[in-house]
Amino acid sequence: MIRNISQEEVFDLFFDLIIDIEMGDHFDKTNESHLKWLEQKVSRRFGCGAIFYGYFDTDKAPIGIGSVVIEDHPIFQGYSELLDLGVIPKFRGLGYGTKLVQHAEHLSRDAGLFCMYISTYAGDEIAISFYTKCGYTPVAVLPDVNGPKDEGKLYLRKRLYRDRE
Ligand SMILES: CC(C)(COP(=O)(O)OP(=O)(O)OC[C@H]1O[C@@H](n2cnc3c(N)ncnc32)[C@H](O)[C@@H]1OP(=O)(O)O)[C@@H](O)C(=O)NCCC(=O)NCCS
């Protein structure tokens, strides 16, 4: 079951996972600035209108998380952007990540949007393989967003109304 979750639930139910998504191995639980940055990051996401949602099993145990911003527009057909996506390690490889992406696509289609964007670390081969399998095509790389010794950020896009072109 997928349902929307609050800012508190992001941390209460998906604490280790949101760390994995946003900071990976760089996160240091003993470093206060890391936690503060993460809380601000999630707070800013809510502030810009992101919808956070969680996937739960039949016992209501958390499985995975996603968040999406619906960039609708009164004139243009608009786009959405998937911001956070992750599945708790023991549930990976079982199709939950795909279902979480599809949920954001459903919300985007319901809003009449043309396409959905996703960005990830350009050196993350697993994420790129996963998003490609979900139907996303690489469209741009932003170099140096994390400094000079970094692969940068890769944007991928999927057209949601391919049949209307
Ligand atoms: C990326 C992630 C969300 C995938 O979730 P998942 O539930 O394991 O993915 P699915 O089971 O739906 O996999 C769908 C397809 O993605 C690809 N894929 C998934 N995991 C993969 C891996 N480890 N290596 C290569 N391809 C992979 C496969 O093509 C897979 O299809 P298949 O099962 O038919 O082979 C999950 O690995 C994760 O949470 N990673 C940590 C956080 C992260 O990297 N988030 C995304 C970037 S911000």
In CATH terms, the fold of domain 2-164 is Aminopeptidase (3.40.630)
Q: Which residues line ligand 1 (CB under 6 A)?
A: 20-21, 85-87, 92-98, 120, 126-127, 129-130, 133
Q: Whose CA is nearest to atom 1 of ligand 1?
A: 127
pLDDT of residue 162: 55
Please state, for a pLDDT cut of 70, what percent of the chain lies above it: 98
Structure tokens at 157: 């896009």
Asked if 85 contacts 66 with a C-beta cutoff of 8 angstroms, the reply is yes
76 CA from centroid of ligand 1 (Å): 32
Distance of CA 33 to the CA centre of its chain: 23
**Distances in Å between the alpha carbon of 26 and those of 20, 86, 138?**
9, 17, 26
Compute, in angstroms, the gap from residue 130 CA to the centroid of ligand 1.
Answer: 5
Measured from the Cβ of residue 36, the count of other Cβ atoms closer than 10 Å reads 10
Output the CA torsion 95→96→100→102 (10° steps). 30
* pLDDT interval class at 150 (50, 70, 90): confident
